[in-house]
Amino acid sequence: AQRVTQPEKLLSVFKGAPVELKCNYSYSGSPELFWYVQYSRQRLQLLLRHISRESIKGFTADLNKGETSFHLKKPFAQEEDSAMYYCALFPGRDDKIIFGKGTRLHILP
Amino acid sequence: EAQVTQNPRYLITVTGKKLTVTCSQNMNHEYMSWYRQDPGLGLRQIYYSMNVEVTDKGDVPEGYKVSRKEKRNFPLILESPSPNQTSLYFCASSQPRQGSGRYEQYFGPGTRLTVT
């Protein structure tokens, strides 16, 4: 079954420390993977897509097909990074995107 | 400005009173969907539509209806709301296209619904 797993509900990190938000997926084909972010009282926004291999707001995410993972990383956390982060998988067949349950990132001063 | 709008943003209603949450996008997107967001459960898809007059059930369709008579609008209908439908609802749209990120979704601002 297709599935996206974000094992951490809450991640607290000190400002300036490295951040890694974990995402594992289960899918037999070649999916498209995304990270979405939701800041307090705001709508969801796209943060990263694996196919672009870009860095946004200092975040990067590498697709590891062997480990079926798409972890989100940032070397030095900033207070404005506090938000809810969702990993999402798009199988590319019937447009049914699959979201993980989300991880709340809390940056400590 | 390209955007997805939802109305109302906040709604408190009583059990059994029919309601509609509207969703509209101005990007000529073919694909639209509705999600509900609940603590501990994250985002779950309710219904989606790949084009006008084409709708399909998502993961949690029970108690909801949708329609897609026009490309830009995708209303969510609760015929007889119940307290377990108290949630934060998001509408989203996207346009499949060739190249990178072809399934990026644009989200509306959310509708917070409370059913008492």
Q: Give chain B positions within 8 Å (CB) of A9.
A: 40
Best of B43, B49, B68, B93 to disrupt the A interface by mutation (most A CBs within 10 Å)?
Answer: B43
Cβ distance B104 to A9 less than 8 Å, yes or no, reads: no
**3-class DSSP state for residue A58?**
coil
Confidence of residue B101 (pLDDT cuts 50, 70, 90): very low
Question: What does the pLDDT look like over A24-83, one tens digit per residue?
Answer: 999 877 778 899 998 887 888 889 888 777 788 999 998 888 899 999 999 999 999 999
Mean pLDDT within B94-112 = 74
Q: Give chain B positions within 8 Å (CB) of A34.
A: 103-104
Q: Between residues B51 and A54, which one has the greater pLDDT?
A: B51
Cβ distance A99 to B103 less than 8 Å, yes or no, reads: no
- Of B11, B72, B85, nearest to B46 by C-alpha is B85
CB A6 within 8 A of CB A87: yes
Is the omega angle on the peptide bond into residue B8 within 30 degrees of 0, that is, cis? yes
Question: What does the pLDDT look like over A66-99, one tens digit per residue?
Answer: 899 999 999 999 999 999 999 998 876 555 678 8
Q: Give chain A positions within 8 Å (CB) of B109.
A: 42-43
Q: How far is A54 from chain B (nearest CA, A)?
A: 11
